[in-house]
Amino acid sequence: MTMLQALRHVAAAVRHAEILADEAEDLADVALATRLRERARELALDLERAVEVIDEVEPARSARAVAHETLGALYGDVTMRLEERLSPERSSRLSPGGHLDVVERARFRFRQMVAHTEEGVRALQDELGAALGRYDAAVDSYLMVCAEAQGKKDEVVVRSQALRLELERAKQRLLLKAPAGGEAWRRIKRRTVRTKRARWLDEAKARGLLGEVFAAA
């Protein structure tokens, strides 16, 4: 299940809370209506922040891809300039098999170029090292965004599960207040507010986050 698919379940929990708040207000349970609206608002804000972070993943992925392509172009350019400066035998030793990813080939070349003392070759090594640095920075940025997005997603999903537990209690409370068999009673009865805890969430992480949720309640 993708992050955005998981967040749709969170949005559904927010909507359930808003609807039950309306039902509570109609049944003159002002305290419950106020509490549910506040819980819905808090979760909606958490959801918004999670979506904002997840939206940063694709630009970071694109930046990483661009850095990879840029490194590949520079690697090819450096290859030609090395062939101009070194003998075929020496330049070939700096050009490993093309079946390897250009990042691996660039790192190998960068390490091997240390043994070359020619001024022109050392300058090329500096160019290659700078390109590798930019690529590493792009990869690190991408991975940090991915880690933050995963963490935000897990947290907001757990918070939504905690809200669903509260909504189940609210549902039972409202069923006692609504005239049995009436229209409001049937609406509340049909509303499925609690689902099986999200399977994509790690058990230990869920216990920790749920503990934080209930401690803050």
- Are 201 and 157 contacting, i.e. CB atoms less than 8 angstroms apart? yes
**How many angstroms separate the CA atoms of 109 and 94, rounded?**
5
Q: Is 182 helix (H, G, I), strand (E, B) or coil?
A: coil
Taking only the tens place, the pLDDT of each residue in 179-189 is 999 999 999 99
Taking only the tens place, the pLDDT of each residue in 47-103 is 999 999 999 999 999 999 999 999 999 999 999 999 998 888 888 889 887 789 999
The answer for residues whose C-beta is within 8 angstroms of residue 60's C-beta and 6 or more apart is: 138, 141, 142, 145, 146
Taking only the tens place, the pLDDT of each residue in 16-28 is 999 999 999 999 9
Burial of 91 (0-12, 13-18, 19+ CB in 10 A): middle
- Are 198 and 157 contacting, i.e. CB atoms less than 8 angstroms apart? yes
CA-CA-CA-CA torsion sign (88, 90, 93, 99): negative
Give the position of tokens 């955005």: 4
